[in-house]
């Protein structure tokens, strides 16, 4: 499937998800739910953000991390399995779960740090 037609397919599959937006980035497209960045469309593949709770589902399906080139790898983003892509309801559920994988805010991280002496 060509990148353009794959992008269109993903858009159609996620059409029922309120607040979804696609923005050009990384030589592909970033997926947002409101202001939350949660997915990447790149070279005919879809990747969703994962966390410790969701990553095992991707690994069990044999899905690897987003690696746009040989020197760069974003292990928090995993390729979405084909079976999930083909089921719009399931894809929407996985997208919502990916959008909930927020990194800790800087305020919370800095509050845990000890002052330097």
**Residue 28's CATH number:** 3.30.1460.30
Rounded to two decimals, the pTM is 0.84
Give the ranges where 1-117 is alpha helix by DSSP (H): 3-13, 55-60, 82-85, 88-99, 106-112
Question: Is residue 101 a part of any domain in this protein?
Answer: yes
Q: Which residues pair with 33 in a beta bridge?
A: 20, 36
Question: Is residue 99 a part of any domain in this protein?
Answer: yes
Question: Is residue 70 a part of any domain in this protein?
Answer: yes
Q: Give me the number of domains the chain comprises.
A: 1
User: Could you tell me the two tokens for 11?
Assistant: 């858009």
Question: Is residue 29 a part of any domain in this protein?
Answer: yes
User: Could you tell me the two tokens for 49?
Assistant: 């953000």
Query: Distance of CA 67 to CAs 42, 63, 89, 96, Å?
Result: 10, 12, 27, 22
The band of 105, judged by pLDDT with boundaries at 50, 70 and 90, is very low
pLDDT tens for each residue of 1-56: 556 799 999 999 999 899 999 999 868 999 999 999 999 999 999 999 999 999 99
Question: Is residue 117 a part of any domain in this protein?
Answer: no
106 pLDDT higher than 50: no
Residues spanned by the domain of 39: 3-112
């Amino acid at each position: 499937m060509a990148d353009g037609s794959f992008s269109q397919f993903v858009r159609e599959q996620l059409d029922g998800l309120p607040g979804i937006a696609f923005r050009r980035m990384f030589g592909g497209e970033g997926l947002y739910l409101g202001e939350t960045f949660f997915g990447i469309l790149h070279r005919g593949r879809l990747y969703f953000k994962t966390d410790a709770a969701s990553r095992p589902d991707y690994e069990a399906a044999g899905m690897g991390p987003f690696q746009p080139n040989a020197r760069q790898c974003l292990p928090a983003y995993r390729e979405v399995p084909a079976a999930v892509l083909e089921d719009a309801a399931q894809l929407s559920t996985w997208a919502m779960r990916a959008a909930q994988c927020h990194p800790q805010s800087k305020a919370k991280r800095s509050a845990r740090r000890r002052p330097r002496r």
